[in-house]
Chain A
């Protein structure tokens, strides 16, 4: 009896030790699994959002994920995640890539690896039109309350750059926006495109919005990959560089930010390593 138990214990211990030694390689896992799991927000137009006509999650970042999946020869699976869960989901291995409005910050760069930048976003502040005379620059909001999405770099940036501000954070952009419209806060900090969408939708409502011209800060966005997965980072960077060289990136960009879309803007960034 005793020998049998000893054998069981030793084999379990050996298995555990082997698991500790074996390296998880995301790229190989994806290829052997046959699907690439891409985490996106699903609520941020035009990066990833539910297309009302086709009811599928589509957008600029979804298209980039699809290109990566195609280059690896696997299927794409989109997983919708919240802003605060982006890093934890990646660290736990529940998603392979995160393409979810992921701005670069030094703290995040210590936790995960970033690909080359695929978008550069100015972070701005949305205000009610009636306050436009009072708030002309971000510093005018000193001592006031602003809303932001919980866990976002907008929240961190507001606390860092506006003196004496208090940030009220909510679980998602619509709640933060509602707090602004209901006069619970004086401003809503977020990426310019997200704020642009709210501003345009508000033109048909009684409380209209304006965006403060001067950006709070400018942040590059990259695709997030789990720390230490150099092969995956190289694969994604290769895809992005090829898209840029062949001109296909510009086509994808124009599809979502072109002159006849909802968010016309010029591409002012290059696909290159994020300078921190």
Chain B
């Protein structure tokens, strides 16, 4: 074996702050994309419940488009394609706030994940027996109140494992933004690798950071699942 691990090469030249900056960018992307995905996904699931034919077709088309095209293609489509449709002044504004790389990749990842989240919530809502809604209505609650107070809380409890899954996937998918030049964690690793050639060391560090955050997300999901199912059991 002619490779000796040398971590000290990673300590100089501003590399630690590059990795830290990349981690912060990744976490920011994850948070914003998750909020977008969750908000949009819940909206889609609830709209599906209204059972309007045309709306169902529209939502099904949206979900099919976002699930059947690879996420990297979505990112490239937004960054190079949609961005060029906007007037040039808009692009100048984008450059002022740090560049379109962050915004467009967050939008692309958020929209694709919202399609999956919408489907997950829809199946969770369908898992609630219709007797619950009937019972709630017969007790005098309106349809909206029945949804809000009876069905949706139970649906979210059922959906927490799959939502944890989607969150983990979202967190990892942020690494695709490296393709459009965003320096998030993987991009920082790549940049340091081409500057120092310490391939194994830098990717070990990046892997450890991804694993660390992923495990935190997993434990958070497990904790929420336990708490809400305990609350439901009462």
Listed in ascending order, the chain A residues whose CB lies under 8 Å from chain B are 20, 84, 87-88, 91, 107, 110-111, 145, 147, 150-151, 156, 168-171, 175, 178-179, 182-185
Q: Known interface pairs A84-B190, A151-B190, A170-B181. Does A182 touch B83 (Cβ–Cβ under 8 Å)?
A: yes
B191 on the interface (CB 8 Å rule)?
Answer: yes
Contacts of B145 in A (CB 8 A): none
Contacts of B43 in A (CB 8 A): none
Q: Is the pair B180, A87 in contact by a Cβ cutoff of 8 Å?
A: no
A59–chain B nearest beta-carbon distance, Å: 24
Listed in ascending order, the chain B residues whose CB lies under 8 Å from chain A are 1, 80, 83-84, 88, 91-92, 94-95, 99-101, 179-181, 190-191, 194-197, 199
Q: Is the pair A147, B181 in contact by a Cβ cutoff of 8 Å?
A: yes
Contacts of B190 in A (CB 8 A): 84, 150-151
Which chain B residue shows the least CB distance to A91? B197
Q: Is the pair A184, B194 in contact by a Cβ cutoff of 8 Å?
A: no
Q: Is the pair A168, B101 in contact by a Cβ cutoff of 8 Å?
A: yes
How far is it, in angstroms, between the C-alpha of A91 and the C-alpha of B199 when the chains are bound?
11
How far is it, in angstroms, between the C-alpha of A20 and the C-alpha of B3 when the chains are bound?
12
A179–chain B nearest beta-carbon distance, Å: 7
How far is it, in angstroms, between the C-alpha of A216 and the C-alpha of B194 when the chains are bound?
20
Q: Known interface pairs A20-B1, A145-B95, A184-B91. Does A88 touch B100 (Cβ–Cβ under 8 Å)?
A: no
Q: Is the pair A179, B197 in contact by a Cβ cutoff of 8 Å?
A: no
Which chain B residue shows the least CB distance to A24? B2
Q: Is the pair A84, B92 in contact by a Cβ cutoff of 8 Å?
A: no
Contacts of A147 in B (CB 8 A): 181
How far is it, in angstroms, between the C-alpha of A179 and the C-alpha of B92 when the chains are bound?
13
Q: Is the pair B88, A169 in contact by a Cβ cutoff of 8 Å?
A: no
Q: Can you report 18 A-B residue pairs in the complex whose CB atoms are below 8 A from each other?
A: A87-B194, A88-B199, A107-B195, A107-B196, A147-B181, A150-B181, A150-B190, A168-B101, A168-B181, A169-B191, A170-B179, A170-B180, A170-B181, A171-B179, A175-B180, A178-B80, A184-B91, A184-B99
How far is it, in angstroms, between the C-alpha of A156 and the C-alpha of B188 when the chains are bound?
14
Q: Which of B1, B91, B196, B197 meets A182, CB within 8 Å?
A: B91
For the residues of A in contact with B, the DSSP-based class is mixed
Q: Known interface pairs A84-B194, A184-B100. Does A169 touch B91 (Cβ–Cβ under 8 Å)?
A: no
Q: Known interface pairs A20-B1, A145-B99, A184-B95. Does A179 touch B194 (Cβ–Cβ under 8 Å)?
A: no
Which chain A residue shows the least CB distance to B94? A184
Contacts of B95 in A (CB 8 A): 145, 183-185
How far is it, in angstroms, between the C-alpha of A175 and the C-alpha of B81 when the chains are bound?
12
Q: Is the pair B92, A183 in contact by a Cβ cutoff of 8 Å?
A: yes
How far is it, in angstroms, between the C-alpha of A147 and the C-alpha of B99 when the chains are bound?
12
Q: Is the pair A182, B84 in contact by a Cβ cutoff of 8 Å?
A: yes
How far is it, in angstroms, between the C-alpha of A179 and the C-alpha of B95 when the chains are bound?
12
Contacts of A185 in B (CB 8 A): 95
Contacts of A20 in B (CB 8 A): 1
B3–chain A nearest beta-carbon distance, Å: 9
Contacts of B180 in A (CB 8 A): 170, 175
Contacts of A168 in B (CB 8 A): 99, 101, 181
Instruction: Pick the 7 closest A-B CB pairs, nearest first.
Output: A151-B194, A168-B181, A183-B91, A111-B197, A169-B181, A182-B84, A170-B181
Contacts of A150 in B (CB 8 A): 181, 190-191, 194
Contacts of A169 in B (CB 8 A): 181, 191
How far is it, in angstroms, between the C-alpha of A110 and the C-alpha of B196 when the chains are bound?
10
How far is it, in angstroms, between the C-alpha of A107 and the C-alpha of B12 when the chains are bound?
14
How far is it, in angstroms, between the C-alpha of A150 and the C-alpha of B197 when the chains are bound?
14
B4–chain A nearest beta-carbon distance, Å: 14
Seed contacts A20-B1, A87-B197, A169-B181; 13 additional CB < 8 Å A-B pairs? A87-B194, A147-B181, A150-B190, A150-B191, A168-B101, A170-B180, A175-B180, A183-B88, A183-B91, A183-B95, A184-B94, A184-B95, A185-B95
How far is it, in angstroms, between the C-alpha of A125 and the C-alpha of B191 when the chains are bound?
21
Contacts of B83 in A (CB 8 A): 182, 184
How far is it, in angstroms, between the C-alpha of A87 and the C-alpha of B196 when the chains are bound?
11
A82–chain B nearest beta-carbon distance, Å: 11
A133–chain B nearest beta-carbon distance, Å: 17
Contacts of B199 in A (CB 8 A): 88
How far is it, in angstroms, between the C-alpha of A183 and the C-alpha of B95 when the chains are bound?
9
Residue of A169, A175, A184 with most partner-chain B CB within 10 A: A184
A91–chain B nearest beta-carbon distance, Å: 8
Residue of A147, A156, A169, A171 with most partner-chain B CB within 10 A: A169
How far is it, in angstroms, between the C-alpha of A147 and the C-alpha of B80 when the chains are bound?
14
Which chain A residue shows the least CB distance to B79? A184
How far is it, in angstroms, between the C-alpha of A110 and the C-alpha of B197 when the chains are bound?
10
